[in-house]
Structures are given as C-alpha cells and as structure tokens.
Structure 1
C-alpha cells in the first residue's frame, strides 16, 4: 500500500515535469555532413538520379558457396524457438535458399517500383517513389513518406503501396489517394552509411525532411513503426508546419515513465483512463514486462554498445545473418510463435519475402552500419536528449496492434502527442504492421487522413 502511494507521488512529479515541458517547441533545424573527409566547399549536387537494383553471377555464386559451408549446432530436444532460432527449421530455410530461392527474380520484384538516389548531407540516399497509376480529375494525390525500422527495409511496404496509390482497383475507397515515398535509413540497404559518429534519428529526420522538400513537397504526411516511428516523430518536431499528419504504429515512451505507468495504471484505472482492451493487452503484467525487457532485448544491448563486433560475424555468414534477422520476424510478429518448431514464420510471411529482406542486408553489406543506429540513439545518456521529452504538436494517428512488443494505451500516447485524432485497436498483427497486415494499415491511414482533412 505504502509503496503504491510512493509510486503515485513519483508519478505525479514525473507528470508535472512533463507538463512543464508542454509549450510548443521545435527542434532546431541544423545541418550536418556525414560523408568521408571534410565537407567540400562547393555546393552539394542536388540532382535526383534513377537507380536500379542489380545482381551478378559472382554475387550469387559467392552466396551459394558460403551457404554450402555452413556449420550448425543441433537444437536441444523440444526447444522450439525458446533458445533462439531453431536449427532444425533453419535447415529447411537453408535448403530453400540454396536450391529454390531465385534472387534474380526477386531483383525484378524490387525493381517493380521506381528507385532513385540523391546526395543529402554527404550521403547517397536511396528511396522509391510511387505515384498513382491513374487519378480522377477531382483528386490530388497526397504525399506520404513511409519509414521502415530494424531489421526491416523499404521492401516491407511493397504490398501496402498499391492499396494507397491505387485503392479502387484493390477494393478500397478512393477518397484518399497517395503518392508514396519510402526511403532507406542511412546505413540500411541501398542508402550510404555515415562515415562519422553521431548520425541519429534526428539527423535522419532532417535528411528525410530535405528529401521531401527536394521532391517539391511543402506539406506531406509521414508514417512509421520501429525506428520509423521515432524518425517520423522527429520530423514533426523539426518541421511541424510541413508535416501535415503523423501516423504511427509504435510509440517511443521513456522506459522508466512507461514502466511506472504500466505498474500503476491497472490499480488506478480511472486516473489513467485504461480501457478493458488495454487491460487485456498489458496482462499478465509480469509476463509482458519480462518478455519485452529481458527475453526480447538482448540484441538491443549488444547493438547499443558493441555493434561492430557482432556485425563482423553477421556480415561474414549469410546463414548467421538470416538466423539473427528472421528470429525477430518470428517472435516480434507474435510472442506465442516461440512455442512452435518453425517459429510461425510462414504463417504471416513467405520465405521469398523474408529472404528478400535478408538479401538486401547481405548484398549491400549493411548489417553493421544498420546496427550502429542503436549505438547512436541509445548508446549514451539518451534520457537527456531533448526530443525524447518534447511533445509533438502535429495531428497524430496511432494504430495499436495486439501483438506489438509493448502496448501503449491511448492516454499515454496522447500525453506525448496532444493532437491525437485517431487511436485504433487493430484486430490482429504485430511489430511489422505494414508487412503483416497491409490492408489494415492502409485503412487506418485513410481514416486518420480523413480526420485531418476535415479539420
């Protein structure tokens, strides 16, 4: 009893501290240079050049040689995915990858949409830009930037893009039609990695903001989960007059504050505004906290401290890389998949789609640089970073997927995003929302945009 009273007092102080930060602030729009060496004195080339994904016989043969030389450790009996990626099931993936997976065909799939590169702050930034194939005269397409996270890639959005750019031909309402821009985070896939320390989510947000301006958009919508959620939030903090609306399927709430509210919320439901659905999604509390903070966070501690060490091993072994990445597509999609021999991977995804994600990392050699993003954002005393404490005064929509790693109730989201217009309890889905449930995400984006447009 006394412990709960003390925690309530501490929470009251935390809330007061946050409320004292309630004035509408923006992050300073600074500048950076992330290329090698000193910044050139000449103006940066702002041209936008077409780009095409390519492969070669040498690349494929090298991959096959490395796969053939794999050394696996036998899984423990009845271990399923409790110890990580089950090597018995991994053998099936290896066999498919070596003998059936057609990387040349997947390269053609990747090139289905137009790819481009442009130099921003010293880095070649890769993105796809998909415009509606046809548009009624009464419609103007709405620009929408969609940002991936780790261990994902721009490819996560391939199935949602037609639902947004050509909704009528996919059985959806065409009240809102979008042109979609999906960039690769610097150091991920086809976007060049920084040569210097310090490229964090705010710097990435500034780069993507410059990208949208370079494409001619003065107002635009942004959407993201995982790192994409933080990057899009930072864009709204940097340029609120340009970000017309912010749609998220994950929210970065400070861990200590979140843990405290998670503990006290069920005991003070009226104070916190927790619904019955919130209670279902955060219970059993001990299992949820243990699952997220301990069982699923080992990678985070490694990548926030020594990303280059583990990156050396992963960049040398395609099978090791596949196990490391695909394990997340199992347990982050649904925590109960860890009880299955195959990790439930093929319940939501095809092996072709999953291996395409792996191949984007493998062929570009960017696993290490992608992991450094954790070091840059979480490796220091990130609690002192201003953007984590700043409220976001841009119209916001939030999609709460039931199998997300941690559920964030509406009142907590609204605390950091005061202009929350839409909060949706989604029927199904987990961490990789657009990849898993493209139609649900597309529908929620359209619902949110409709609310913004009618303001």
Structure 2
C-alpha cells in the first residue's frame, strides 16, 4: 500500500469520524427550555398590568362603514397589465381572472354580506385576555354525545388561512360517529395577530411564545389535557406546544408534520439519494428529486423571505388594498392546493373551493386589518432568539399522527421525523389533497384524524 493511499484512507476515516460525531451531537435531544409562561406581550409597560381573566362572548360583526368603504374601493377602475400570452398562474395571479374575482366580490358577494357574516357567526365566538393580548377563539361543544367520550381539541390554522378553514371540518368533529368512541369539544383560536386576535406589541413573539399563550387559553377553559391538530403554522405551533408542555398534550396530529432540526436536512439528502432504504416503494412519488425539491422551494418560498425580513413593508402594500390582498392570498389557495393549477387561467381556485368560502377568508384579513400582524410571525420565527431555543430538538412524547396529502408543497418521511416525534403511531399518505385539507377534503382529514385518535388512546390506555 502506497503512502498516498494510506494518507487518503486516514483523511477519509477522520472525515467520517467528524461527520459521525457531529451527527450524534446534532441528533442528541435537548431538554425543554425554561419559558416565562406569564410574559407580557401587550403595549407599554407590564408593571401595572393586571390580567382580565374573564372569558366573554365576542361579536365578530363588521361596522357598516367598513363594508361601504370596501364597496367604494372595489368600484374603482382596475389598472392591471394583461397576462402574457398562454400564461395561467405561472407568473402569479392572472389579471384577467382577477377582474372576474373582483366583479364577483363587488356585485355578488358583498350584496349578500349579511348572509356571509351570519354564516361566519354560526359557531360561538369568544374573547379573553392572556399575557396582555386579546385572544379570539371559537368554542364548539357537541350538542349530543350518544355515550361517546368528549375530548378537548385545540385546532390550529396557519397563513394565509384563518379559522374559516375549519367551518366544514368542525361539524364532523363535534357530531358522534359510529367510527369512533370519541367526539370532540373544539377550541379553534385565531392565532395572535390573525383575524380577531390581537398581535403582539413587542418583538421576539414567535411560535414558542404563541404555544405558551394557547396552552394558557386551554387551561383557562378548564382543560389541562387536550389533543392538538394543525397544519402550516398550526403544525409548528402545535408541535411546539406538545414538546414544551408534555403534561398537557394528550396527542398531536398534523397534516404537515415537519422537523426543523439540523439532522433532518442530513436525513433528507440521504433519503433522496437512497430512497429504497428509507421509503416504502408506494410512497416514492411523494418525494421528488432534490433538484425538483429545491426548484419548488425557490419558486414558492419568495413570499416567506419577504415576510421573514420585511413584513411591515409588504403589509403596508396590502393593507387597505383589497384587490392586492385578494390576489396575494388567493394565489396561495391555487398553487398550494395543486401545483398543476398554475397552468390554468383561473388557477383552479373553484375546483375545490367555492368563491364565497375563499372570499370569506380574505374578508377576515381585510375587516380586521390583520395582514401585517399575521406576517410578522415569519420574522419572529427566524430571529436568533427563537432559533437559539432549538425547539425542534426537544422530543415530542405524545402519540403523534402524520397525514400527508399528495399536493402539499413538500413532505417529511418517518425517517426524517422520528428524532423529534419519538412516538409516531399513525403515518398515512393520501393520493389527493393539498395544503388546506380541512377546507378542501374535510371528510378525508376527519377520517384520518379519527383513525389516529383511536390508535393514540388505545396505546395510552
């Protein structure tokens, strides 16, 4: 054996030793960080603050003058550039179709606003004050139980969604079903800064801090143990709550399970290079090549970079700009439901949703002026204080269920997730659906959730 060969072997061996050692360090679980569960996030100084513990009914009615002003704005002539020839939504929201959306919004939707507002009021709405912030939530109890066990459920939305995502899903959860021994008492809050929930007045208010507030909400309502379900931000906040409050989390289910720990990215590369070792053959097509993955990332995550760096700038652009707001939000309901919808002139928006449902969601952002405060969460997620907590390295002990819908932007395999979710009892793949399954395929999501709950409670019994 020549000298150079020996040197090469030594170098490679040392390199592998470094990688293995670093991997072990990165994969090592961390303890729950110490958190201030009473930290004040409202305006001004907390010295004289005294929390109002009252939980009271909340009227989500919109002042008539807000609707009249919206009508005035939508009556202004649109000055849009024509789309490029042969282009659907590939360049963003198709301006020709945007004209149709605005016309429908102005001439059909707004004239029946009282009907839509009544629909949005169909569930009981409440408000309470937690850590200086007024928090809105819907609280729906089963009207009958038929002998089923009632389980508290914290149901969490994301961006650019709202509690409107759950209007078709909630009745399934609160109605006894022969498939399950359980029925659910649903608490669906508007995330702080979203909808009718007040945004923080101070910086460093990220997913961990929101998880604290929502856990405190559940305690205030008398639930010291509860199930958590969520996607998008609801997934990040929900998994954080399950990690840092294991004594409260009965179980955790998500339609977007993710692991943001560094070891996940090592595993992602390995999985894509050697899929046969880590994935069932039937699921290979849920995971595109690394090239496709990064192409999708570059194409679809521009909004995230803007909102994580300059949320107030894009917020100012969209605030009181209903046409821009609708285009910005609805474009996500096109692409994130199915990437192939980009090829369509109408973005496929009404293939899975009614235009009324889509505009209900836009209206929640518009009438509450919450677009800026909702986007600030991206900046707080990526600040150095939040990243230093390394929450994704705190293991989640609660029984976990992960449902994957084919057209979600990306998926994480059990191989990637298991370092964080150490008790995965339910892992499924659905050949349809995208980022908003509670709104798009509520029955499918419900069936998946019920199947998970039966497994989770059987394991913990």
| TM over 0.5, shorter chain | yes
Contact in 1 for aligned 2:381/2:387 (Cα 8 Å): no
**1:282 and 2:287 are equivalent in the alignment:** yes
- Quote how far apart the aligned CAs of 1:72 are: 1.6
Contact in 1 for aligned 2:408/2:435 (Cα 8 Å): yes
Counterparts in 2 of 1:173 and 1:216: CA distance versus 1, 3 Å:
same
Q: Give me the whole-angstrom Cα distance separating, in 2, the residues matched to 1:97 and 1:38.
A: 42
Q: Give me the whole-angstrom Cα distance separating, in 1, the residues matched to 2:131 and 2:385.
A: 25
State the SS of the aligned residue for 1:415: coil
Of 25, 36, 43 in structure 2, the residue corresponding to residue 36 of structure 1 is: 43
Q: Give me the whole-angstrom Cα distance separating, in 1, the residues matched to 2:17 and 2:349.
A: 44
Q: Give me the whole-angstrom Cα distance separating, in 2, the residues matched to 1:111 and 1:197.
A: 32
**1:64 and 2:71 are equivalent in the alignment:** yes
- Quote how far apart the aligned CAs of 1:400 are: 1.0
**1:357 and 2:361 are equivalent in the alignment:** yes
**1:230 and 2:236 are equivalent in the alignment:** yes
- Quote how far apart the aligned CAs of 1:174 are: 4.3
Of 412, 437, 447 in structure 1, the residue corresponding to residue 441 of structure 2 is: 437
Counterparts in 2 of 1:68 and 1:35: CA distance versus 1, 3 Å:
same
State the SS of the aligned residue for 2:182: coil
Deviations 1:62-100 (A, max 9, x none): 101111223222211112111000001111101100000
Contact in 2 for aligned 1:11/1:260 (Cα 8 Å): no
State the SS of the aligned residue for 1:422: strand
Counterpart for residue 138 of structure 2: 128
Which deviates further from its counterpart, 142-151 or 277-286? 277-286
Counterpart for residue 172 of structure 2: 163
**1:16 and 2:24 are equivalent in the alignment:** yes
Q: Give me the whole-angstrom Cα distance separating, in 2, the residues matched to 1:270 and 1:10.
A: 26
Deviations 1:364-412 (A, max 9, x none): 0010000000001124475433212222122111101111111111221
Counterparts in 2 of 1:381 and 1:33: CA distance versus 1, 3 Å:
closer
Q: Give me the whole-angstrom Cα distance separating, in 1, the residues matched to 2:108 and 2:455.
A: 46
Counterpart for residue 91 of structure 2: 83
Q: Give me the whole-angstrom Cα distance separating, in 1, the residues matched to 2:22 and 2:373.
A: 35
Of 101, 104, 108 in structure 2, the residue corresponding to residue 93 of structure 1 is: 101
Counterparts in 2 of 1:279 and 1:14: CA distance versus 1, 3 Å:
farther
State the SS of the aligned residue for 1:416: coil
Q: Give me the whole-angstrom Cα distance separating, in 1, the residues matched to 2:195 and 2:17.
A: 47
**1:74 and 2:79 are equivalent in the alignment:** no
Deviations 1:112-150 (A, max 9, x none): 0000000000010000000111112x3231000010000
State the SS of the aligned residue for 2:149: coil
Q: Give me the whole-angstrom Cα distance separating, in 1, the residues matched to 2:358 and 2:442.
A: 16
CA-atom RMSD, angstroms?
2.2
TM-score (norm 2): 0.92
Counterpart for residue 304 of structure 1: 308
- Quote how far apart the aligned CAs of 1:277 are: 3.2
**1:408 and 2:412 are equivalent in the alignment:** yes
Q: Give me the whole-angstrom Cα distance separating, in 1, the residues matched to 2:262 and 2:344.
A: 32
TM-score (norm 1): 0.93
Which deviates further from its counterpart, 317-326 or 256-265? 256-265
State the SS of the aligned residue for 2:324: helix
Q: Which runs of 5+ in 2 are unaligned?
A: 1-8
Contact in 2 for aligned 1:266/1:279 (Cα 8 Å): no
Q: Give me the whole-angstrom Cα distance separating, in 1, the residues matched to 2:231 and 2:430.
A: 14
- Quote how far apart the aligned CAs of 1:257 are: 4.5
